[in-house]
Amino acid sequence: MTKTLRWENLDTGLALLDERNVVVYANPAFATLLALETVSGRPAITSWACDLGPDTRQTLERRLCSNEAGAVTLNEQAPNPVTLYIGASRDGQRLVVGARGWPVADDCGLAAQLDPLTGIGNRLMYERHLATLCEHAVRPAVAALMIDLDRFKQVNDTLGHAAGDELLRLTADRLRKLTREDDVLIRLGGDEFLVLQTDARQPDAAHGLAQRLTEVMSRLFLIEGNSVEISASVGVAMLGHGTAALDDLLKHAALALYQAKGLGRARYCVFDPDLEARALARHQIEFDLRRALGLREFVLVYQPQNSTRDGRISGFEALLRWMQPVRGPISPAEFIPLAEEIGEIHAIGAWVIRSACFEAAGWADPTLTVAVNVSPVQFENDNIIQIVSAALKDSGLAASRLEIEVTEGVLLTESPEVLERLWSLNRMGVSIAMDDFGTGYASLSYLNSFPFSKIKIDKSFVQSEHSSRSQALISAILAIGTSLGVTTIAEGVETPDQFAAIRAIGCHSVQGYYISRPMPAEDVADYISRFDPEPFLRHAEQEQIA
Amino acid sequence: MTESLYRLVYFSRNALAGDAEAVRAEIESILECSRRNNAAANVTGALMFNGGCFAQVLEGPYGAIQVTLERIQCDARHSGLKVLAFDRRSARGFAHWSMAYVGAAANVDRFAHIAKTSAFDPSALDGEAIYDTLKANLADSALA
C-alpha cells in the first residue's frame, strides 16, 4: 500500500497490466498523460485507443499481443507526442511507462544519425543540427572545422581496409578527447570529419581547436601493430567571421580545407571571403577554358628568331594567346597551368601544333623553321607522336622545319617512355629545343640525356646581362652548347645594347622585342618580305667599336 | 593462453608551465593518474622526466598499449612526441609502475622522493641500447 501511495505522487505515468492487458492500476500522472478520467479496471486497448488513428491502434494492439518489451508512440504528428514503454510480460504482469517525447530507443532517429564505424554523427546529424541552429532567433556563435586526413589512402592501400577503418575510429576518438561535451562531431564520409563548435568564444576557440587538431593528428597511431604517421588538414569557417549564412558554413570550411591542402597539408586555414571570390573566379576561368577551343578563342602569334651573324630571320616561334571576349587577352602563364591541371592542355596543345604547321607550310621561304611549345603533360602518352606526324603530313611541312620546345619539366620524371617519345619525334626529323634553360634545375644530366638541337637561354639572364654573374652564366651555357654541338638562342632581347652584347659573346640567334614583337599570322608574309637586317647589324657593330 | 606482450618507448617535450614547484605537483598528478589507469589496463613501465622532457616505457597487451598511447597523444602537457621503439617482448622490464627524475644535478634532490616512492629501479634501464638513447636524450634536453 505504501508503494502504491508513492506511485500516486510520481511525475512519471505508470500502469500495471494483467495477462489479458486489463489495467490493474494506473497512477494519476498516467491518466493525465492520456487525458483519461479513469483507466483502472478496463482493457488497455479499449480505454487508451479511443482517439488513436487506425495505424497507431494496430501497432498498439500488436505490441500488447506480444509478450516482449516495446515502445509505441501515440499521435505521432503531435509536437510532443506521448510514448508508451511497454515492459515484457512476466508472470502475467507487465508495467507500462508513459512519457512525453519520442522513444529513447529511437530518440528522434538518433541511430540513423550515427556513423556505425566511429559512433559519431553522420551527415544527417549535421543537417538536423543545422536546422536547430537555424531556429535560433539570435545568430549563434558557431564554427565549423572540416578535417581531412592527409595520407589516408596510403594507409588503406598498404595496410588494408581494416587498418583504414581502425584509423578512422582512432581519429574519431581523438576528436572526442580534444573537443568539448557540446561540440558536435560528424563524419562527413570517407576520411572527412567535421566539428561544430557552438557557443564558444570565436574566433579564438576555433583557432585553438584547429591548431590542436593538426598537432595531435600528426602524432603517431598504433594500428594493427604498425606505427602509422599521418597528418590532417583543417578548414575553418565561422558564422560572423567571413561567413554570413549558416548554409554556407560547410562550403566555406571546405574551401578553407582545400586551401590548407594546397599550402602543403598538416595545417589549418580559416575561410576568408577572398578565398571564395578566388575559387569562383577559378571556376569561371575553368569553365571558359573548356569552351575556348570550341569557340575559337585561341590564336597563335609569331615572333621572329634571327641569326646574330647576318641578322637574317631563321624562323618564328609560335606563341599562344587566349582572346577571351569578356576578360580580354589572357597570358599563357595564367591559363596553361590550369589547362594542364584540368587536362585541357591535350586538346589545346594538339591544336597549337597543327595550326603552327599549317601556317609555316604557307610561308614563302621554305627554309624558315617554326618553334612550338609542348607541355610536359603532353608527353605523358604516345598521342604526341601521332599528333605531330599527322600535323606534318596534313600540312605538308617538312619535319626539319618543325622545332618542339620543351622545358626541363619533361625530363623531371626521368621516365624512359618520355625519352622514347622524344626520340620518336627526333627520328621523324623534328628538332627538339630545351626551353627556359637556366631557370629550373639546369641539370647538365638533362642535356646529356637527349640530343637537343638548341638551348634557349632564358630572358632573365639576357635582361640582366650587365651583371658580371649573368655574363659568366651566359658564357658557360654557350660553352656547353658549343662543346655539345648544340646551337644557342637568347630570348627576351629588348634593347640594342642587349643585342650587341649577346652577339659579341657568341650566341647564335636572338629573339625579342628589339627585333620584333610577336605578330598575327597574317602579318608574317609581309614582315618576311620587308625585313632588313642592316640597321640591327650596323648598330651592333658600332657598339662593338665603341 | 597469455596475451602477447608489447613495449613502447617514447620521448616527448615537456609543455608544463610554471616554476619547479608547479611542475613537481603536475608530475605527481601525472604519476598518480598513470598508476591508476595503467594498473587497471595491466600496463607497467617507467616515466622519466626532467625540466624539459618526458621519456616513457610502456609494457602491456597490445590493446592496452594502444589505448594508453591514444590518451597520451591527446595530452596537452607535452608535445613533439617521438616513438623510439615499438616491439613485442617476452617479459616485462618493469614489474611495477615507476618514475624517475633524470636531469640537471641541481634539481635531483627536489625530485628524488618521486623516484624513491615509485621504487624506480635504474638497473631495469641498463643493458639495452634504446634505454641509453633515452637517457642521452634526457641529458641533452637538460643541457639545452
**Does domain A287-545 bear CATH number 3.20.20.450?**
yes
pLDDT grade, residue A245 (50/70/90)? confident
Confidence band (pLDDT; 50, 70, 90) for A76?
low
Model pLDDT, residue B144? 45
What 3-state DSSP class applies to A314? strand
Helix/strand/coil (H/E/C) assignment for every residue in B95-123: CCEEEEECCCHHHHHHHHHHHHHCCCCHH
- Asked if residue A269 lies in contact with residue A263, where contact means CB atoms within 8 angstroms, the answer is yes
Site of grid cell 627526333:
A426
Q: Compare all CA atoms of chain B with the CA of A225 and give the residue at the minimum distance.
A: B62
* CB contact (8 A) between residue B69 and residue A220: yes
Among A174, A215, A227, beta carbon nearest to B70: A174
Smallest CA–CA separation between B127 and chain A, in Å? 25
Identify the pLDDT of residue A58.
76
Q: Residue A442: is its pLDDT beyond 70? A: no
Distances (CA, A) of A334 to A330, A331, B19, B89: 7, 5, 56, 59
pLDDT band for B1, please (50, 70, 90 cuts).
Answer: very low
Residue A511's pLDDT band (cuts 50, 70, 90): very high
As a whole number, mean pLDDT of residues B116-135 equals: 60
Under the banding of pLDDT at 50, 70 and 90, the label for residue B137 is low
Grid look-up 651555357 returns A477
Chain B residue whose CA is closest to A170: B70
**Whole-number average pLDDT of chain A:** 88
Residues A222, B86: C-beta atoms closer than 8 Å: yes
- State pLDDT tens for residues A261-285: 988 899 999 998 888 888 888 888 9
**Range with the poorest average pLDDT among A135-149, A167-181, A230-244, B19-33:** B19-33
More confident residue, B131 or A32: A32
Q: What share of chain B is helix, strand, coil (3-state, %, to 5)?
A: 45, 30, 25
Q: Percent of chain A having pLDDT more than 70?
A: 94
Nearest to A498 by CA among A468, A461, A469: A461
In the predicted model, what is the mean pLDDT of residues A502-514?
A: 94
Largest CA distance in chain B: 48
CATH number at residue B103: 3.30.70.100
- For residue A77, name the pLDDT band (cuts at 50, 70, 90): low
Interface test with A, best of B74, B87, B88, B89 (most A CBs within 10 A): B74
Partners of residue B66 in chain A, C-beta under 8 Å: 170, 222
* Phi-psi map region of A334: left, alpha, beta (phi>0 left; psi -120 to 50 alpha): alpha
Higher pLDDT, residue B81 or A421: A421
pLDDT in tens, A530-543: 999 999 988 888 87
Task: Give the right CATH number for A110-271 from 3.10.290.10, 3.90.1150.10, 3.30.70.270, 3.60.20.10.
Answer: 3.30.70.270
Per-residue pLDDT, averaged over A371-384, amounts to: 95
State the smallest CA–CA distance between residue A172 and chain B in angstroms. Answer: 11
Q: Which residues share a beta bridge with A543?
A: none
Range of the domain at B90: 5-143
Number of folded domains in chain B? 1
Q: Top-level CATH class of A2-107? A: alpha beta
DSSP A351-386: HHHHHHHHHHHT-S-TT-EEEEE--GGGGGSTHHHH
Q: Is the pLDDT of residue A289 over 60?
A: yes
Chain A: which residues have CB within 8 Å of chain B?
170, 173-174, 177-178, 212, 215-216, 219-222, 225, 227
Give percent of chain B with pLDDT exceeding 70. Answer: 64
Under the banding of pLDDT at 50, 70 and 90, the label for residue A82 is confident
Cβ atoms of residues A402 and A369 within 8 Å:
yes
Q: Chain B partners of A231 at a C-beta cutoff of 8 Å? A: none
Nearest beta carbon to residue B83 from set A212, A215, A220: A220
Mutate which of A166, A209, A222 to disrupt the B interface (most B C-beta within 10 Å)? A222
Rounded distance, CA A418 to CA A421, Å? 5
List of chain B residues whose C-beta atoms are within 8 Å of the C-beta of residue A227? 83, 86
User: Rounded to a whole number, what is the distance in Å from the CA of A170 to chain B's nearest CA?
Assistant: 8
Contact B73 A178 (CB under 8 A): no
Contact check, Cβ <8 Å, B81/A222? no
Local structure of residue A78 (DSSP, 8 states):
S
- Interval A478-495: pLDDT, tens: 998 988 889 999 999 999
Residue A98 confidence class, pLDDT cut points 50, 70, 90: confident
Residues of chain A in contact with residue B83, where contact means CB-CB under 8 angstroms, are 220, 227
Flag whether pLDDT at A474 surpasses 50. Answer: yes
Which of A235, A239, A241 shows the shortest CA–CA distance to A256?
A235
According to DSSP, residue A310 is labeled T
The tens digit of pLDDT for each residue in B40-84 reads 788 888 887 776 777 888 889 998 899 889 988 888 888 777 888
Cell of A414: 626521368
- CB-CB contact of B130 with B9 (8 Å): yes
pLDDT digits (tens, 9 = 90+) for A294-318: 889 999 999 999 999 999 999 999 9
The distance of A57 to chain B (nearest Cα, Å) reads 49
User: Could B70 and A227 be called an inter-chain contact, meaning their C-beta atoms sit closer than 8 Å?
Assistant: no
Question: From CA B35, how far away is CA A388, in angstroms rounded?
Answer: 74
Mean pLDDT of A392-412: 93
A152-159 and A161-178 are packed helices; what angle lies between their axes, rounded to 10 degrees? 140
Q: Is the dihedral of CA A448, A452, A457, A459 positive or negative?
A: negative
Q: Name which residue leads in pLDDT, A64 or A218.
A: A218
Measured between CA atoms, the residue of chain A closest to residue B84 is: A227
Range with top average pLDDT, A58-67, A311-320, B59-68, B126-135:
A311-320
Q: Could you tell me the residue ranges of all domains in chain A?
A: 2-107, 110-271, 287-545
